[in-house]
Amino acid sequence: MNRFVFYLALSCMLIGAGYSQQSFLLIPDWTNDRVCALSPVDGSVINANFIPTNTQLFDSPKHALPTPRGTIMVADQLKDAVHEFDGFGNYIRTIADLQNNQIDNIRGIAIRDGKLYVTVASGALQNTIQRFNLDGTGQETFISASQLNSPFAIYFRENDMLVSNSNANTLIRRFDLSGALLGQWGGTTIRFPQQITRRRSNGNLLVAGFGSPAGIYEFDAAGNQVAYYAVSSGPRGAYELENGLILFTDSAGVKVFDPNAPNPANTVQTILGQGNYHYIELYEILPGDVNRDRCVDDADLLEALFQFGGSGRADLNGDNIVDDADLLIVLFNFGAGCE
pLDDT digits (tens, 9 = 90+) for 267-313: 999 999 999 999 999 999 999 999 999 999 999 999 999 999 999 99
**For residue 94, pLDDT beyond 90:** yes
Average pLDDT of every residue of the chain:
93
Residues 221, 157: Cα–Cα separation, whole Å: 10
User: What is the rounded distance in angstroms from the CA atom of residue 162 to the CA atom of residue 230?
Assistant: 23
Place 1 in a pLDDT band, splitting at 50, 70 and 90. very low
Average pLDDT over residues 34-40: 98
> Exposed, middle or buried by CB within 10 Å (0-12, 13-18, 19+), for 126?
middle
pLDDT at 170: 86
On whether the CB atoms of residues 61 and 33 are closer than 8 A, the answer is: yes
Segment holding 189, helix H or strand E: none
Q: How much is the pLDDT for 15?
A: 43
pLDDT tier at 16, thresholds 50, 70, 90: very low
> Is the predicted pLDDT of residue 193 greater than 50, yes or no?
yes
Region 47-69: mean pLDDT is 97
pLDDT of res. 2: 46
d(CA 324, CA 172): 51
Nearest to 65 by CA among 73, 56, 57: 73
Q: What pLDDT was estimated at residue 69?
A: 96
Overall average pLDDT of the 190-217 stretch: 97
Q: Is the pLDDT of residue 314 over 80?
A: yes
Residue 14 in this model has a pLDDT that exceeds 90: no
pLDDT above 70 (res 9): no
149 pLDDT band, cuts 50/70/90, is: very high
Can you give the pLDDT at residue 339?
Answer: 81
Residue 51 has pLDDT above 60, yes or no: yes
Percent of the chain exceeding pLDDT 90 equals 91
φ and ψ at 115, to 5 degrees? -125, 145
The stretch 72-97 carries a mean pLDDT of 98
Interatomic CA distance for residues 77 and 312, integer angstroms: 34
Q: What is the mean pLDDT of residues 67-89?
A: 98
pLDDT interval class at 187 (50, 70, 90): confident
Question: Is the predicted pLDDT of residue 108 greater than 60, yes or no?
Answer: yes
From residue 271, give the alpha-carbon distance in Å to each of 8, 56, 167, 241, 321.
40, 27, 31, 13, 30
What's the pLDDT band for 4 if we cut at 50, 70, 90?
very low
75 contacts 63 by C-beta, under 8 angstroms: yes
Question: What Rg, from alpha-carbon coordinates, does the chain have?
Answer: 21
The mean per-residue pLDDT over the stretch 242-255 comes to 98
Mean pLDDT over 205-229 rounds to 97
Which residue segments constitute the domains of the chain, with CATH numbers given? 2-18+297-332 (no CATH), 24-283 (2.120.10.30)
Decide: residue 1, CB within 10 A, 0-12 exposed, 13-18 middle, 19+ buried.
Answer: exposed
Position 161 pLDDT exceeds 60: yes
